[in-house]
C-alpha cells in the first residue's frame, strides 16, 4: 500500500470516529451544548481538557520553534505549563463553584453589569478568533502534505470537518470527541519520538534520550548538536541568546494568558462537583505532561537529523547533491512550505548561517548563501518521521495526530465563541425571552459563522501557528485574566473598575500589536518596523500581554479608589465562592 493511500485510510478513519461520536452525543439542550449537562467524569474531562489545550501550536509548531531557536524558545513550554498550573490552582475550582456556563457570564454576574458582560464578550471574541487562526492554519499545513492538496484546500477540508462535529455535538459531542483526539495525538506524537530516540541515543524514552549520549559520535546528544550548529555558523542550541526581559515578559504573558483562556475554563463547568473540577485539572496536567516533556527531545533530535541529512559525511565535507535529495525533501517542496535554491549552480545543497563571521569559511568551501530558502517551522514535527526514515504507518499516524490537535482546540474555541454570542449576548442582553430551542439554534448558527470567519482569516496567516497563538495569549492575559482574578479575590472590586481595566488592557495590547505588527490584521499597514531596535523598551509585541495585564490592574484599582466598592450582596457572593465549606457537594452556586 502506498503512503498516500495509508494516510487517507488513517486520517479518514479518525474523521469518521469524530463525526460518529458527535452524532452519538448530539446536544439536545442548551445545558448539553454549553456544558455537557455537567455530567463528564473527571478523568475524561482531564483528557478532553488536555486535547483542548494542546493545540496545533503545541503539537505541530512548538517543537519546530524550539528546534530552530533552541533554549530560548523553551519559554513556550514554561509559559503554557506554568499557566495551566495557575489556572488549575487559582481559578478553576472557584469558577466552577460560581456555577455559570461561560466566562462573560461570570464577569457579567460578578460585576453586576451588562456592560461588563458585553466588554468581556468583545475581549473573548478578539482573543478566540486570533487563536483559532493558528489552529486552522495548522490543519491546513497537515492536509497540504499528507492528502497532497493545496494549503488552502486543506484549510477548507478542516473547516468542513469541524463544522460537522462541533455544530452537531456542542460541548457534549466535543468533549467525547476530544477524548478520542487526545488518544490519537499522544500516540502519534510519542511513537515517532521513541523510534528516533532509539536511533540516535539507544534510549527508549525521548525525555532521557535528550540528555543521553549520541550513539554515532559517543558525545552527549546536546553537545553534538551544539557542535554541528557552530560548525555551520549558527548559534548554539543550549545557550541563552535573547533579551532576558523579553523572555520573562513573554513567559509571564503565556502563563496568565493560559489562565484566562475561555475555551479551557469552560471545560471545568462540565463536571458534576467542585471537587471534580480540581481532580480533572490534576488529570489534565498528567496528560499534558506526556507530550510536553517529549517536545524538547523532538525539536533537538529533528534539528540534528536535518543537518546530518544534508551533510551525511560531516559538516566540513561535501553537502548533499540536489539529485540525491531524500524523498522527504521532494515531498515537502511540493507543498511550498520547504524550498531550496541552487544559488551557485554547483548542484549541491548548502545549509549554513550566512553571517559575516562565517563568510570566510563559506568562501573557502565555495558556498554562496544558505540554499534552504524556506523552511516553515510548522512542518518539522509532521516531517520528522520521514526525516528519520520511519515506517509508513508512523507517517500516517503523525498526520492523524496533527489534525487531531488542530481540530480539537479549534472546536473548543468555536464553542466558546458560540456560547459568548448566543448565551451572553442574545440570551442575556438582546432577547432574554428567547426559547431554549431558539437559543440552541442561535448557538449553532453563531458557531457556523465563527468557522467561516476563522477560515477566511487563516487563508493567509501572519506567522507560524505558535507565533499567532502567542499573540492570542497576550490578548487573554491583558483582558480576561485580571478581571477573573479580581472577581474572585477582590471582594470590593466594582463594575466600573473591572470594565475600565478590561478596556485599558486589551486596547493597549491591540494598539501595541497594531503598531509593530500592522500586517497581522491589515496587510501593508505597518506603522513602525517590527524590529527589536524599534520596540518600546525592547518589548516584543508577543510579550506585551504582561504589560497590558499590569495596566489592567492599575486602571481597575485607580477607578475603584474613585468610586464606591461593590454592593454588600456581591461581596457576600464572592466570599461564598472562596470559602470551601460544602465544596465537595456543591453542584451549582
pLDDT in tens, 197-213: 999 999 999 999 999 99
Among candidate residues 351, 385, 419, the one where a domain is terminated: 385
Instruction: Using alpha carbons, select from 486, 552, 498, 421 the residue that is nearest to residue 112.
Output: 498
Output the pLDDT for position 480: 93
Q: Are residues 459 and 331 in the same domain?
A: no
The average pLDDT across 39-64 equals 82
Output the pLDDT for position 517: 67
User: Could you tell me where the DSSP H helices lie in 3-74?
Assistant: 3-24, 30-35, 42-53, 56, 62-69
Task: Provide φ and ψ at 372, rounded to 5°.
Answer: -85, 90
C-alpha cell at 149: 492538496
User: Is the pLDDT at 565 greater than 70, yes or no?
Assistant: yes
How far apart CA 447 and CA 453 sit, in angstroms, is: 10
Output the pLDDT for position 462: 55
Residues 123, 479 contacting (CB under 8 angstroms)? yes
Among candidate residues 422, 452, 481, the one where a domain is terminated: 481
Give residue 122's pLDDT band: very low, low, confident or very high (50, 70, 90).
very high
Task: Provide φ and ψ at 165, rounded to 5°.
Answer: -95, -25
Q: Are residues 293 and 200 in the same domain?
A: yes
The average pLDDT across 255-275 equals 82
Q: Are residues 403 and 271 in the same domain?
A: yes
User: Is the pLDDT at 522 greater than 80, yes or no?
Assistant: no
On whether residue 526 sits in a domain, the answer given is no
Q: Are residues 264 and 406 in the same domain?
A: yes
How far apart CA 412 and CA 271 sit, in angstroms, is: 16
**pLDDT, tens digit (0-9, with 9 covering 90-100), for 422-461:** 888 888 888 888 888 888 888 888 888 888 888 887 776 6
Q: Is residue 50 classed as helix, strand or coil in its secondary structure?
A: helix
Q: Are residues 415 and 451 in the same domain?
A: yes
Q: Are residues 353 and 398 in the same domain?
A: no
**pLDDT, tens digit (0-9, with 9 covering 90-100), for 382-410:** 888 888 888 888 888 888 887 787 777 77
Output the pLDDT for position 587: 42
On whether residue 550 sits in a domain, the answer given is no
The average pLDDT across 481-509 equals 95
Give residue 355's pLDDT band: very low, low, confident or very high (50, 70, 90).
confident
On whether residue 220 sits in a domain, the answer given is yes
On whether residue 372 sits in a domain, the answer given is yes
Q: What is the per-residue DSSP string for 465-521?
A: HHHHHHHHHHHHHHHHHHHHHHHHH-TT--HHHHHHHHHHHHHHHHHHHHHH-HHHH
Residue 361, burial from CB neighbour count under 10 angstroms (0-12, 13-18, 19+): middle
Q: Return the residue matching grid coordinates 555551520.
A: 232
C-alpha cell at 370: 544558505
How far apart CA 289 and CA 282 sit, in angstroms, is: 11
**pLDDT, tens digit (0-9, with 9 covering 90-100), for 155-203:** 888 788 877 767 776 777 778 888 888 888 898 889 889 999 999 999 9
Output the pLDDT for position 341: 87
Find all residues with CB under 8 Å of 57, minimum gap 6, and list them: 76, 134, 135, 138, 465, 466, 468, 469, 470
At 36, which CATH number? Answer: 1.20.1730.10
The average pLDDT across 96-110 equals 83
Q: Are residues 321 and 446 in the same domain?
A: no
Over the chain, what is the mean pLDDT?
83
Most confident of 331-345, 428-442, 454-468, 553-567: 553-567
User: Is the pLDDT at 114 greater than 90, yes or no?
Assistant: yes
Find all residues with CB under 8 Å of 210, minimum gap 6, and list them: 197, 221, 222, 296, 297, 300, 301
Q: Are residues 374 and 404 in the same domain?
A: no
The average pLDDT across 68-74 equals 81
On whether residue 345 sits in a domain, the answer given is yes
Give residue 466's pLDDT band: very low, low, confident or very high (50, 70, 90).
low
Average the pLDDT over each of 77-81, 453-457, 508-512, 534-538 and give the range with the smallest value. Answer: 534-538
Q: Domain residues for 180?
A: 3-301+388-481
Q: Are residues 269 and 404 in the same domain?
A: yes
On whether residue 502 sits in a domain, the answer given is no
User: Is the pLDDT at 23 greater than 50, yes or no?
Assistant: yes
Give residue 526's pLDDT band: very low, low, confident or very high (50, 70, 90).
very low
Three-state SS for 138-195 is HHHHHHHHHCCCCHHHHHHHHHHHHHHHHHHHHHHHHHHHHHHHHHHHHHHHHHHHHH
On whether residue 524 sits in a domain, the answer given is no
Q: Are residues 134 and 23 in the same domain?
A: yes
Q: Are residues 144 and 234 in the same domain?
A: yes
Give residue 411's pLDDT band: very low, low, confident or very high (50, 70, 90).
confident
Output the pLDDT for position 524: 40
On whether residue 146 sits in a domain, the answer given is yes
The average pLDDT across 84-100 equals 79
Number of domains in the chain: 2
Q: Are residues 105 and 89 in the same domain?
A: yes
Higher pLDDT, 585 or 122: 122
User: Is the pLDDT at 345 greater than 70, yes or no?
Assistant: yes
User: Is the pLDDT at 467 greater than 90, yes or no?
Assistant: no
Going 512 to 514 to 516 to 517, the CA torsion angle's sign is: positive
Among candidate residues 448, 481, 514, the one where a domain is terminated: 481
Amino acid at each position: 500500500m502506498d503512503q498516500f493511500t495509508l494516510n487517507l485510510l488513517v486520517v479518514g478513519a479518525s474523521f469518521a470516529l469524530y463525526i460518529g461520536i458527535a452524532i452519538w452525543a448530539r446536544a439536545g439542550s442548551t445545558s448539553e451544548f454549553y456544558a455537557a449537562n455537567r455530567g463528564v467524569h473527571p478523568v475524561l474531562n482531564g483528557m478532553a481538557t488536555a486535547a483542548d489545550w494542546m493545540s496545533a501550536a503545541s503539537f505541530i509548531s512548538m517543537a519546530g520553534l524550539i528546534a530552530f531557536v533552541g533554549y530560548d524558545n523553551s519559554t513556550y513550554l514554561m509559559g503554557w505549563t506554568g499557566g495551566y498550573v495557575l489556572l488549575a490552582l487559582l481559578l478553576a475550582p472557584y469558577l466552577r463553584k460560581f456555577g455559570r456556563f461561560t466566562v462573560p457570564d461570570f464577569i457579567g454576574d460578578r460585576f453586576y453589569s451588562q456592560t461588563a458582560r458585553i466588554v468581556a464578550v468583545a475581549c473573548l471574541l478578539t482573543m478566540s478568533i486570533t487563536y483559532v487562526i493558528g489552529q486552522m492554519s495548522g490543519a491546513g499545513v497537515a492536509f497540504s502534505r499528507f492528502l497532497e492538496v493545496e494549503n488552502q484546500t486543506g484549510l477548507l477540508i478542516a473547516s468542513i470537518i469541524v463544522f460537522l462535529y462541533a455544530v452537531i455535538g456542542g460541548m457534549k459531542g466535543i468533549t467525547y470527541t476530544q477524548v478520542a483526539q487526545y488518544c490519537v495525538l499522544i500516540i502519534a506524537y510519542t511513537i515517532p519520538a521513541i523510534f528516533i530516540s532509539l536511533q540516535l541515543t539507544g534510549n527508549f524514552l525521548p525525555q532521557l534520550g535528550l540528555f543521553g549520549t549520541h550513539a554515532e559520535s559517543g558525545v552527549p546528544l546536546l553537545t553534538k548538536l551544539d557542535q554541528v550548529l557552530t560548525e555551520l555558523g549558527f548559534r548554539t542550541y543550549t545557550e541563552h541568546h535573547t533579551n532576558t526581559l523579553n523572555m520573562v515578559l513573554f513567559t509571564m504573558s503565556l502563563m496568565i494568558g493560559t489562565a484566562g483562556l475561555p475555551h479551557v475554563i469552560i471545560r471545568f463547568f462540565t463536571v458534576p462537583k467542585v471537587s471534580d473540577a480540581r481532580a480533572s485539572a490534576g488529570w489534565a496536567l498528567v496528560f499534558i505532561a506526556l507530550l510536553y516533556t517529549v517536545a524538547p527531545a523532538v525539536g533537538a533530535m529533528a534539528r540534528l537529523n536535518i543537518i546530518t541529512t544534508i551533510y551525511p559525511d560531516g559538516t566540513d565535507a561535501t553537502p548533499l547533491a540536489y539529485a540525491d535529495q531524500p524523498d522527504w525533501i521532494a515531498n515537502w517542496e511540493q507543498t511550498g512550505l520547504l524550498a531550496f535554491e541552487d544559488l551557485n549552480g554547483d548542484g549541491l545543497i548548502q545549509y549554513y548561517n550566512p553571517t559575516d563571521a562565517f563568510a570566510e569559511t563559506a568562501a573557502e568551501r565555495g558556498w554562496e548563501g544558505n540554499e534552504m530558502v524556506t523552511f516553515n517551522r510548522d512542518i518539522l514535527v509532521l516531517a520528522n518521521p520521514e526525516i528519520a526514515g520511519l515506517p509508513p504507518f508512523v507517517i500516517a499516524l503523525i498526520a492523524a495526530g496533527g489534525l487531531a490537535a488542530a481540530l480539537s482546540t479549534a472546536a473548543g474555541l468555536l464553542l466558546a465563541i458560540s456560547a459568548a454570542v448566543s448565551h451572553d449576548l442574545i440570551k442575556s442582553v438582546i432577547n432574554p425571552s428567547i426559547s431554549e430551542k431558539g437559543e440552541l439554534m442561535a448557538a449553532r448558527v453563531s458557531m457556523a459563522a465563527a468557522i467561516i470567519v476563522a477560515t477566511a482569516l487563516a487563508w493567509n496567516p501572519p506567522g507560524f501557528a505558535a507565533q499567532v497563538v502567542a499573540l492570542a495569549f497576550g490578548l487573554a492575559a491583558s483582558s480576561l485574566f485580571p478581571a477573573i482574578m479580581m472577581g474572585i479575590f477582590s471582594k470590593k472590586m466594582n463594575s466600573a473598575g473591572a470594565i475600565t481595566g478590561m478596556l485599558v488592557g486589551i486596547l493597549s495590547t491591540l494598539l501595541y500589536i497594531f503598531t509593530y505588527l500592522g500586517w497581522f490584521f491589515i496587510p501593508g499597514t505597518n506603522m513602525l518596523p517590527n524590529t527589536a531596535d524599534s520596540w518600546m523598551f525592547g518589548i516584543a509585541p508577543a510579550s506585551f500581554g504582561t504589560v497590558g495585564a499590569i495596566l489592567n490592574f492599575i486602571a481597575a484599582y485607580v477607578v475603584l479608589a474613585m468610586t464606591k466598592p461593590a454592593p454588600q450582596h456581591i461581596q457576600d457572593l464572592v466570599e461564598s465562592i472562596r470559602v470551601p465549606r460544602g465544596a465537595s457537594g456543591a453542584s451549582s452556586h
